[in-house]
Amino acid sequence: MSDKTPHAGRLETDPVELSKAGFRALEERDVESANSIFMGLLEIDPSNSYALVGLAECAKRNKDLPAAADWYRRCLSQDPKNEVSVRGLVMCYSEMNLHKKVTELWESHANLLEEHDSMALKTADAFRKLHNT
């Protein structure tokens, strides 16, 4: 699949449709196509949070947690209240055993995370590990 999806003989350039196509490719486990679609979306709209989160998800599926964290951070730098990016970044930091970063992220985004028990548990676990090591 190219970085823009064909639609009725033309290349798709609508950001909403590209985002849908990218996440559909991820659902179909076609990470390469998804990555290409999200990169194409960034060419159209460099600050598109769906593209940034999509690229983070592609990186996670490729087991490249540092790259995933970079994409999530880039999204958060443009949209500090993007809850999906905060949760994704917590997961990345947790899986990379960056417990201090998990707790720092919690402190800076507690208003977004406190409603999610799983994020609170991950943060509490990171805090415990940070102070018991």
Half-sphere exposure of 26 (CA within 13 A, CB side): 22
Domain boundary among 79, 97, 116: 79
What DSSP character marks residue 111? H
- Same-domain pairing of 70 and 26: yes
Rg, C-alpha atoms of the chain: 16
- Same-domain pairing of 54 and 107: no
pLDDT at site 132: 67
Residue type, 49: S
Neighbours of 87 (CB within 10 A): 19
Range of the domain at 16: 1-79
Place of tokens 């949209």: 79
Average pLDDT over residues 70-98: 93
Q: How many domains does the chain have?
A: 2
Report residue 26 as tokens: 């991820």
For the cut 60, the answer to whether the pLDDT of residue 3 exceeds it is: no
Question: What length is written for the chain?
Answer: 133
Per-residue pLDDT of 4-21, as tens digits, reads 444 443 457 889 999 999
Per-residue pLDDT of 17-70, as tens digits, reads 999 999 999 999 999 999 999 999 999 999 999 999 999 999 999 999 999 999
CATH assignment at residue 23: 1.25.40.10
pLDDT at site 76: 95
Report residue 71 as tokens: 């994409």
The more confident residue out of 57 and 117 is 57
Place of tokens 């707790």: 103
For the cut 90, the answer to whether the pLDDT of residue 124 exceeds it is: no
Mean pLDDT, all residues of the chain: 84
- Same-domain pairing of 56 and 92: no
Q: Report the alpha-carbon distance of residue 92 to residue 132 in Å, rounded.
A: 21
pLDDT at site 128: 67
Partner residues linked to 6 by β-bridges: 11
